[in-house]
Structure 1
């Protein structure tokens, strides 16, 4: 069968789709991945055809300008809570005018590659949803933080505008984002999905999404007698430091400084993943080890704590390796994720104060109850079927042998 994958946003979105696209390609299916140019490298070596036809995250962020202006501009934005900002910006982030261009690019790919039997989309990518709807083919969302909070009512009006711009007919149920089901890599009892989100078919989180990675030698030389904390802000935050920075919902430099200052206060070795943001002007102590990028899933295998912005990929990777989470959310689904992590007993929700973040991390490093709860989540994840088993499930869906994925 022919599978069309649609991925937008940051490289982390590509890594969420990669295991499923790779499994389909390994099984002999034709897989075409539409994505921005800066995500294309995520799929290097995978048995897929990559078409870098989408706008980058920085370019797409240009459409946030009017939404930010409606909130009163950047100054007013700073007075709002992360939840208020997220609620106001979600329709534009995931169903704004950039989606019209993405849908046109996908329709052009359909002309050149043929009509797909199935669309597999990044959970925050809605152009694939619109194109699948237009073609009448099944569409499934990959595991996604956006998918956990993007309830149909949030984007219904914006998607109707996109259909009008594209000249597409409105379906009987225009708000059914998951009429064919969705995928996840968290055990159902530890799901982060919001109450209005359809249940998912769960598969085990891959222990190494990218193949052939190794840790840098200096990590192996860190003293094993001290706790190891992994700290970072993921890949989406640094992407906001480009030309769209003034329209970004948060300042990535400020966020990184808060994390770095908190790390400096810890009695532990800290690997600080900077995402390429500059830290030369920070007086980091010897126990804080900055790096532009590290293979996070590998590093988490030897970590005692993960200080994170709360991106959904990182949350799943931490659960896969049984590492408690200190979550300092910034935007998007991260505030929701932080609350759910605390509710589930897998870590703590941090406030944006370096001293308080450090105190929370210190407490978590000695919290046996949180560690035991995380170990339970890890064991539950390991009972899930491997990602490779999605191939048969998606084949049945594409052939209409089943009406939808069931949890």
Structure 2
């Protein structure tokens, strides 16, 4: 079997679809399935060239980058037509060299549109992965579902809640659910204070963090108001939590790091100043060293109002980091009894669970860390999810 995979980004570029496209292709290639990926070049790939990962896996880069999360409307429109044109021509060129059997496109929908046109011309089946429903414009959402998803062999959803949303709004009989996956063995956590101190310095955070600080990490895009509203909820809960700590000196040692960028980042900055949390909170912006940041974290939080199947929660749990998240998308199913779940906007419960977590004994926290790691390995590792994908392709 030969697969053409289309995604706007590919690892090491940021974003869930980028990582999923890369991991699935790598797994398929290791199981003797030829996989060719089309994606925009990343900022690390300054020279436009193809990349051979192994004998069965190659990435064909387009000669431009995907827009950043805070890009404007005009930039996005230009990118849409560039990706559609260059991507389609690249697919034709690859088709002449490799007679692939299946196309697998990953949202956002320019990838799916190429798969749709290609399937009509060359009579090839295509699969379509929808990674979220947080579209900036509703007409794109309807075009994505009514045209691309409707005509696919199978439309794969990373969250069962997304499946429920689509079943209520549209008449689709080709939906199936497969959660996001991760390569668990690729993640780690520091085991000693000295290791933590060294890594903090390597991350250039030693002016803000100390090795004995308790570190909360919040990673998320700031392009959608529903995501930033969840961050602001967490800030309010965090301030209340610090105020109610009996040991005031202990409060100074609890640090909150926000990672991400987007047009609503200024709302977060304003709220931090308003709540007078500058000593405890820092905005790191976009970072490429997420794995290392998770390795020094005590807790990952994600209290957004909209999510699909967040990679960052899988990555945190694979790094032995317990999570606190809202009951949106696939978060509750992923975290389960290895962390904490609250309803969106429930600031009181966020505060309560912060207190519960930091009141755990060292043994209890270690047990929670191990449970988180084990759940990812047993249910979400690429060696588990990859088999489901190969079975789907084979059908």
Same fold by TM-score greater than 0.5:
yes
Query: 1:323 — aligned with what?
Result: 321
Query: 1:273 — aligned with what?
Result: 258
Could you tell me how far apart the structure 2 residues matched to 1:355 and 1:25 are? 47
Unaligned runs of 5+ in 1: 64-92, 164-173, 241-247, 329-333
Query: 2:245 — aligned with what?
Result: none
SS of alignment partner, residue 103 of structure 2: strand
Cα deviation per residue 1:73-105 (whole Å; 9 max; x = unaligned)? xxxxxxxxxxxxxxxxxxxx9xx9x97885555
After TM superposition, give the deviation of residue 160 of structure 1 in Å. Answer: 7.5
Could you tell me how far apart the structure 2 residues matched to 1:290 and 1:159 are? 34
Query: What TM-score do the two structures reach when normalised by structure 2?
Result: 0.58
Match of 2:67 among 41, 56, 65: 56
Query: 1:127 — aligned with what?
Result: 113
Is 1:6 the counterpart of 2:10? The answer is: no
Query: 1:217 — aligned with what?
Result: 201
CA RMSD of aligned residues (A): 5.3
Could you tell me how far apart the structure 2 residues matched to 1:327 and 1:159 are? 28
Query: What TM-score do the two structures reach when normalised by structure 1?
Result: 0.57
SS of alignment partner, residue 297 of structure 2: coil
Count of aligned positions:
327
Could you tell me how far apart the structure 1 residues matched to 2:254 and 2:52 are? 35
SS of alignment partner, residue 198 of structure 1: strand
Could you tell me how far apart the structure 2 residues matched to 1:365 and 1:376 are? 17
Sort the Cα spacing of 1:250 and 1:377 in 2 relative to 1 into closer, same or farther, 3 A.
closer
Could you tell me how far apart the structure 2 residues matched to 1:370 and 1:129 are? 46
Could you tell me how far apart the structure 2 residues matched to 1:6 and 1:128 are? 10
Could you tell me how far apart the structure 1 residues matched to 2:211 and 2:94 are? 52
Tell me which protein shows more strand as a share of its residues.
2
Q: Is the 8 A contact 2:298 2:322 kept in 1?
A: yes
Could you tell me how far apart the structure 1 residues matched to 2:146 and 2:62 are? 26
Higher relative contact order (CA 8 A, sep 6+): 1
SS of alignment partner, residue 336 of structure 1: coil
Sort the Cα spacing of 1:355 and 1:200 in 2 relative to 1 into closer, same or farther, 3 A.
closer
Query: 2:19 — aligned with what?
Result: 15
Could you tell me how far apart the structure 1 residues matched to 2:66 and 2:35 are? 24
After TM superposition, give the deviation of residue 269 of structure 1 in Å. Answer: 3.2
Could you tell me how far apart the structure 2 residues matched to 1:178 and 1:21 are? 19
Could you tell me how far apart the structure 1 residues matched to 2:140 and 2:370 are? 36
Sort the Cα spacing of 1:228 and 1:204 in 2 relative to 1 into closer, same or farther, 3 A.
same
Is 1:108 the counterpart of 2:89? The answer is: yes
Cα deviation per residue 1:48-84 (whole Å; 9 max; x = unaligned)? 2222568636699749xxxxxxxxxxxxxxxxxxxxx
Q: Is the 8 A contact 2:23 2:183 kept in 1?
A: no
Pairing of 1:367-378 with structure 2 (within 5 A): 375-376=370-371, 378=373
